[in-house]
Amino acid sequence: MPIENIPEIYIQNKKTPQDIFVYDFRMTSDVVKSKVNLSMNMFSFLQVGKKQVHFAGTSVAVNKAQSLLLKKGNWLWTELLDTEAIYYCKLFFFSEKKLTDFLSKYTNNVKPYQEEVPYFVIENDDYIATFINSLSSGTFTSHRYSDALLVLKFEEIMLYLLNKYGNKFEYYLHSLISKEISPFKNVIDSNVYSNLKLEEIAFLCNMSLSTFKRHFINEYNEPPGKWLQDRRLQKAKELLQSSELKASDIYLEIGYNNLSNFSIAFKNKFGISPTDISNLK
């Protein structure tokens, strides 16, 4: 699957750098785990449909009752239709420069806080709904004062959210300009029990699959496929031996998409089926 460079693919005049940009996004079919290189921080104001984003160390899912603020980086996006035959959201991009200007103007200090998560979930309310309705890419490309209006809209939503969420949101904004990068091992440890493919984990590490495999072997002295499978199966064995859970209850939780594949792998490793090990208790 090709990597989408966002917002570059939406910008018509690529010769003029844009620090703030609005795009009305529509889609009529589901997209699962598309690879996105997000070069600007972005609000995703979802109006129809569902969205899930996989990050290096976590994932988040939102619906139309929520909005999402995302840190720039390499992410996997899943965008799903809901009960209607269209997915619709408004994307509001802003550069690190505009964010730094805002923080300098309205907050006491601009020091990078340690980033905990690369996203912030916003619970929509009447004010935010009205704000979303005021955003339209048409308005901000054909208007004589488009650039000035966009800066005002950016400051408006930022100030409202600072008031709504207080220090929690302020610290998150400061973390967006932090240069901290998650270590390779943090990405791996966070995805031991995820159902992401190796290629998808490599993407979250900003590596090609071949580079990822070489780096993994240097760090763990084992190929990634074998290392991950061993840990997932060991975790499954512990769960089956220490609880009333069955194989059908846990195979998704430990990173398998298919019960049959899990059962075969489990028996190959331990010489006994998941059902039989449960019956030994």
pLDDT per position as a tens digit, 233-262? 998 998 888 888 888 888 888 888 888 999
What pLDDT, on a 0 to 100 scale, did the predictor assign at position 97? 87
Whether residue 65 has pLDDT greater than 60: yes
Tokens 């899930």: give the residue: 52
| Residues 122 and 161 sit within 8 Å (Cβ to Cβ) | yes
Percent of the chain with pLDDT over 70: 90
Residue 238 or residue 224, greater confidence: 224
Residue 90 or residue 221, greater confidence: 90
Whether residue 279 has pLDDT greater than 80: no
What pLDDT, on a 0 to 100 scale, did the predictor assign at position 180? 46
d(CA 138, CA 23): 9
pLDDT tens digits, one per residue of 68-79:
999 998 899 888
What pLDDT, on a 0 to 100 scale, did the predictor assign at position 181? 45
d(CA 17, CA 15): 6
What pLDDT, on a 0 to 100 scale, did the predictor assign at position 118? 87
d(CA 110, CA 101): 10
For the domain made up of 184-279, give the CATH fold. Answer: Arc Repressor Mutant, subunit A (1.10.10)
Tokens 């190929």: give the residue: 223
Assigned CATH class of 4-175: mainly beta
| Residues 122 and 68 sit within 8 Å (Cβ to Cβ) | yes
Residue 153: band (very low, low, confident or very high) from pLDDT cuts 50, 70, 90 = very high
Task: Give me the residue spans of the domains in the chain.
Answer: 4-175, 184-279
d(CA 48, CA 64): 6
What pLDDT, on a 0 to 100 scale, did the predictor assign at position 14? 60
The radius of gyration of the chain's CA atoms, rounded to the nearest angstrom, is 22
pLDDT tens digits, one per residue of 126-145:
999 999 999 877 766 666 77
Whether residue 12 has pLDDT greater than 80: no
Query: Among the listed ranges 102-106, 138-142, 171-175, which one has the minimum average pLDDT value?
Result: 138-142
